Amino acid sequence: MIWTVTRHFALATLLIVATAATAQQKPDKNAMKPMAGPRATILRETPIYVAPDLTSQKVDRIQEGRELVIAESSGPWIRVFANTDMEEVDERDAPVFGGESAPPPVSGWMQARGVVRETTEGGDLVLMGEAASLEILAEDARGPRNAGQAARLLYRRVVEFYPNSALAAEAAWRAADIRWQFEKADAFKRPSAKERDSYLREQLYDDEMKKIIKNWPHSRQADQAAYTMIDNKLCGDWQGEPKCPEKESEYYEKFAAEHPDGPKTAQALYQATYRQAVMGDMYAADGTDKKMDAARTHARELYARMKDKFPASDYTARAAALIYKIDQGVAVYGSDRD
């Protein structure tokens, strides 16, 4: 789940220490050229008019987080060009936000209330905070319908408007993660999600994750991005065969070796421990005792590493429960056969 207490605690810490320092999208060849002027975005859904007058004709409504270019000002009004915010997609045409199309470019007049310009002092903090608030609202069934999408757009604006901000890496990670979770939810609704081998289903778009690793190497956000991309390698339904959990255990152990002190290391070791426990049960069901013993021994070794390195982690406690079940002869996988 992308909206967690941990995430918002981390944001609070970042907002305290961060200081403002003053993404590219693939352009739509058929879109109007934006007028010269500073970039900006809006914190609330706002109507746009043909003239700086509330009685004039409405052109459209601009969603929170959409990129704007300010052409001119007139008192409390600004004339803007609203860019498309077209998502980057690869050649496989991966769905974004359930297949919604990008909004068309529009121009007109809007009230300047709630507008954050790229020149706004502390604008990165404002955009980050509003995006985090929208993430919380996205958890609530009574929240705005597009809260998650709006949060993603606002996070993107932080990166694009304030690339040197101390918040840029976190904003890039959250924007990428929101998109990943939307696409993952969509992918798991399809019949191909139940296929055993990962190559039989459509892969999630990972370019944004790769950019995080490239632009902020060895950072907490890069570790999270690398862990998330393991999703694309995982099997769908194991179908009772040890091949899948064995390979997946290798992925997680490799990640833990490459990121020994990262925010996802304990979780990766737990996932590997779980898969070794599962393999033990699969081999037991097949009567392959030697392989069963090897898998369960490796599960205990992984748990020992967790207990030594991450003694206070919930994942270590969960691994302890797995090992206890193994020692007690309680099945971890296929427990309905007990």
Q: What is the tens place of the pLDDT at every residue in 132-151?
A: 999 999 888 777 888 999 99
Strands 68-74 and 115-117 come out as: unpaired
What are residue 39's DSSP bridge partners? Answer: 69
Question: Which pLDDT value is given to residue 88?
Answer: 46
Tell whether 309 is covered by a domain: yes
Question: Which pLDDT value is given to residue 33?
Answer: 43
Tell whether 331 is covered by a domain: yes
8-state DSSP, 331: -
More confident residue, 274 or 17: 274
Q: Is the pLDDT of residue 29 over 80?
A: no
Tell whether 275 is covered by a domain: yes
- Residue ranges of alpha helices (H) inside the chain are 5-17, 123-139, 147-161, 168-187, 207-215, 220-228, 243-258, 265-286, 289-309, 314-328
Question: Which pLDDT value is given to residue 31?
Answer: 37
Question: Which pLDDT value is given to residue 92?
Answer: 43
* Amino acid (one-letter) located at 201: R
Per-residue pLDDT of 173-194, as tens digits, reads: 999 999 999 999 888 787 776 7
Question: Which pLDDT value is given to residue 187?
Answer: 83
In the structure, what pLDDT confidence band is assigned to residue 16 with cuts at 50, 70 and 90?
A: very low
Per-residue pLDDT of 238-268, as tens digits, reads: 888 899 999 999 999 999 999 999 999 999 9
Q: Is the pLDDT of residue 296 over 60?
A: yes
% of the chain at pLDDT higher than 70 = 81
Number of domains in the chain: 1
Tell whether 195 is covered by a domain: no
Tell whether 288 is covered by a domain: yes
| CA distances to 105, 261, 322 from 152, in Å | 19, 28, 37
Question: Which pLDDT value is given to residue 121?
Answer: 95
**Of 147, 216, 158, 217, residue with least CA distance to 182:** 147
Tell whether 220 is covered by a domain: no
Question: Which pLDDT value is given to residue 270?
Answer: 98
In the structure, what pLDDT confidence band is assigned to residue 335 with cuts at 50, 70 and 90?
A: low
Tell whether 257 is covered by a domain: yes
Tell the residue number behind the tokens 């990008």, with chain if given. Answer: 102
Mean pLDDT across 293-309: 98
Question: Which pLDDT value is given to residue 101?
Answer: 56
**Of 122, 118, 144, residue with least CA distance to 133:** 144
Q: Which domain holds residue 284?
A: 238-338
Question: Which pLDDT value is given to residue 6?
Answer: 46
Buried b (16+ CB within 10 A) or exposed e, 173-192: bbbbbbbbbbbbebbeeeee
The C-alpha R_g of the chain, in whole angstroms, comes to 24
Whether residue 246 contacts residue 281, with contact meaning beta carbons closer than 8 Å, is answered with no
More confident residue, 200 or 249: 249
Stated length of the chain: 338
Question: Which pLDDT value is given to residue 10?
Answer: 47
Per-residue pLDDT of 89-145, as tens digits, reads: 444 444 444 444 566 789 999 999 999 999 999 999 999 999 999 999 988 877 788
User: How far apart (Å, rounded) are the C-alpha atoms in residues 191 and 170?
Assistant: 34
8-state DSSP, 234: S
Question: Which pLDDT value is given to residue 199?
Answer: 62
Average of per-residue pLDDT values in the chain: 85
User: How far apart (Å, rounded) are the C-alpha atoms in residues 82 and 102?
Assistant: 12
Q: Is the pLDDT of residue 323 over 90?
A: yes
Q: Is the pLDDT of residue 28 over 70?
A: no
Question: Which pLDDT value is given to residue 237?
Answer: 85
Mean pLDDT across 289-300: 97
Tell whether 87 is covered by a domain: no
